Amino acid sequence: MLALLLALWPLRRAQAENRAEYRFSDYIEDSDRIKVQTHSVWFEYDLQSKVALHGSYVNDAISGATPTGGLVKDAAGKTLPELVTIKDERNAGFLETAIRAGRTTTTPQISYSEESDYRSLGLSLTEAIDFNERNTTLILGLARNNDSVGKSSDSTFWRYKGSWDAMIGLNQILGPKTVMTANLTFGYSDGFLADPYKGIGFVFDLPPAGDSAFDTFTFDSEHRPHHKFKQVLFLGLNQAVPQVDASLDLGYRFHHDDWGTIANTGEVTWHQRLFKRVTVSPMFRYHRQTAADFYMTKINSDPALAGSRIAFTPDDQPYAVEGDGVFESDVLTHPGDFNIVSVPTLPRYYSADYRLSELETFTYGVTVAIKLCEKATLNLGYQRYEMHGLDGVTPQSVYPRAHVFSIGLGATF
CATH number of the domain enclosing 154:
2.40.160.40
Nearest to 283 by CA among 368, 360, 370: 368
329, part of any domain? no
For 382, the domain range is: 2-198+226-293+353-412
Q: What is the spatial distance between Cα 27 and Cα 29, in angstroms, rounded to a whole number?
A: 7
Which range (48-57, 181-190, 215-224, 278-287) has the least confidence? 215-224
Q: What is the pLDDT of residues 228-248, one digit of tens each?
A: 999 999 999 999 999 999 999
Average pLDDT, integer, range 384-397: 95
307, part of any domain? no
252, part of any domain? yes
pLDDT at 155: 58
306, part of any domain? no
pLDDT at 4: 45
105-110 long-range contacts, Cβ below 8 Å, gap at least 24?
A: 107/5, 109/1, 109/5
181, part of any domain? yes
Number of Cβ within a 10 Å radius of residue 327 = 19
pLDDT band at 216 (very low <50, low <70, confident <90, very high): low
298, part of any domain? no
On the question of a cis peptide bond just before residue 208, with omega within 30 degrees of 0, the verdict is: yes
pLDDT of 214 above 60: no
Please give the full DSSP string across 252-281, using - where no structure is assigned: EEEEEETTS-EEEEEEEEEEEEETTTEEEE
Average pLDDT, integer, range 176-185: 97
pLDDT at 75: 73
pLDDT at 210: 52
Domain count for the chain: 1
